Amino acid sequence: GERTAPLRTLAAACERATAGTTIALAAGEYVETRQCVLASGVRVRGAGRDGAAVKLAVDQWQMAPQ
């Protein structure tokens, strides 16, 4: 997504992200319910100190092998 048209979920962002991508989370709370495989070399950055919280409603987050 873009600043002017952000994606609605972290899972949607990590599905599209490739190595070298930084997923920037806006301030707020995110409740994720979909599986996400985060590719190697992808960074997730929250907005400021204590600005973004992610609650995982499923235990299906994985790191892709290098």
Q: 26 pLDDT exceeds 50?
A: yes
Share of the chain above pLDDT 70, in %: 71
* pLDDT confidence of residue 59: 55
Query: Which band of pLDDT confidence, cut at 50, 70 and 90, is reported for residue 37?
Result: confident
3-state secondary structure of 46: strand
| Residue 41 one-letter amino acid | G
Side chain identity at residue 29, one-letter code: E
> What gap in Å lies between CA 66 and CA 29, rounded to an integer?
30
Residue with tokens 């609650």: 55
- Measured between alpha carbons, how far is 32 from 57 in angstroms, rounded to an integer? 6
In 3D space, the residue among 7, 27, 3, 5 whose CA is nearest the CA of residue 15 turns out to be 7
What pTM was computed for the model? 0.68
